[in-house]
Amino acid sequence: MGIFPGLTYSVRCVTIPRYDNAVIPGAAPMTTMSQEAGPLLEAREIQKHFGRVVALVQGNFELAPNEVHALVGDNGAGKSTLIKVISGVYHADGGELLLDGTPIAIDNPREARELGIETVYQDLALADHLDAASNLFLGREEYLPGALGWLGFLDKKKMRRRAEEEMRHLKIGIKSVDQAVQNLSGGQRQAVAVARAIAWGTRIVIMDEPTAALGVRESSMVLELIKEVRSQGLSIIMISHNLPEIFAVSDRITVLRLGRTIQTLRTQDTTLDAVVGMMTGAVKVGE
172-178 mean pLDDT: 83
Strand partners, 27: 265
pTM, to two decimals: 0.78
Q: Is the pLDDT of residue 27 over 50?
A: no
Q: Is the pLDDT of residue 22 over 60?
A: no
Q: Are strands 260-266 and 252-257 parallel, antiparallel or unpaired?
A: antiparallel
- Nearest Cα neighbor of 89 from 114, 112, 109 is 109
Residue 36 is predicted with a pLDDT of: 58
pLDDT tens, position by position, 44-98: 999 999 999 999 999 999 999 999 999 999 998 999 999 999 999 999 999 999 9
Q: Is the pLDDT of residue 19 over 60?
A: no
CB 284 within 8 A of CB 14: yes
pLDDT tens, position by position, 213-236: 777 877 888 888 889 889 888 999
Distance CA 41, CA 61 (A): 8
Q: Is the pLDDT of residue 7 over 50?
A: no
Q: Which residues contact 272 (CB under 8 A, 6 or more apart)?
A: 9, 243, 244, 247
Region of residue 93 (phi > 0: left; psi between -120 and 50: alpha; otherwise: beta): alpha
Distance CA 55, CA 8 (A): 29
33-52 mean pLDDT: 83
Q: Is the pLDDT of residue 145 over 60?
A: yes
What domains, with CATH codes, occur in the chain? 14-28+38-126+188-285 (3.40.50.300)
